[in-house]
Amino acid sequence: MQLPWLKQRRTAQGCLGIEINHGRVWAVHRTQRGVVSSYIAETDESGFAQLSEWVEAQGLAGSPTVVCMDSERYELQLVDAPPVPPEELTDALSFRIDELVGAPAADKVLQAFPLPGDAYRGRMSMAFAAITDRAYLKEIVDFCRDSDLQLEQIIINELAVLNLLASIEPEDSVAVVRLEGSSGVIYLYRDGALYFTRQISLGTDDLGLSSLNVEEGGLSMQPNSRIDVLALELQRSMDYFESQLGLGAVSQLWMMKSDLVDVTDALGELEERVNTPVRLMSLESFFNRQEDDRPLTASLAVALGGALGYELGN
pLDDT at site 314: 63
Helix%, strand%, coil% for the chain, nearest 5: 35, 25, 40
The helix (run of H) or strand (run of E) holding residue 196 is: strand 193-200
pLDDT over threshold 50, residue 216: no
User: What pLDDT, in 10s, does the model give residues 253-307?
Assistant: 999 999 989 999 889 989 999 989 999 998 999 999 999 989 999 999 999 999 9
- Reported confidence tier of residue 311, pLDDT bands at 50, 70, 90: confident
Helix extents (H) in the chain: 49-57, 89-94, 97-101, 134-146, 157-168, 227-243, 264-274, 284-287, 298-312
**Across the chain, what does the average pLDDT equal?**
89
Q: Look up residue 63 and give its DSSP letter.
A: -
Rounded Cα distance, 217 and 258, in Å: 11
Amino acid at 242: E
User: What pLDDT, in 10s, does the model give residues 42-93?
Assistant: 888 778 989 999 999 999 999 999 999 999 999 999 999 999 999 999 999 9
Percent of the chain with pLDDT over 90: 75
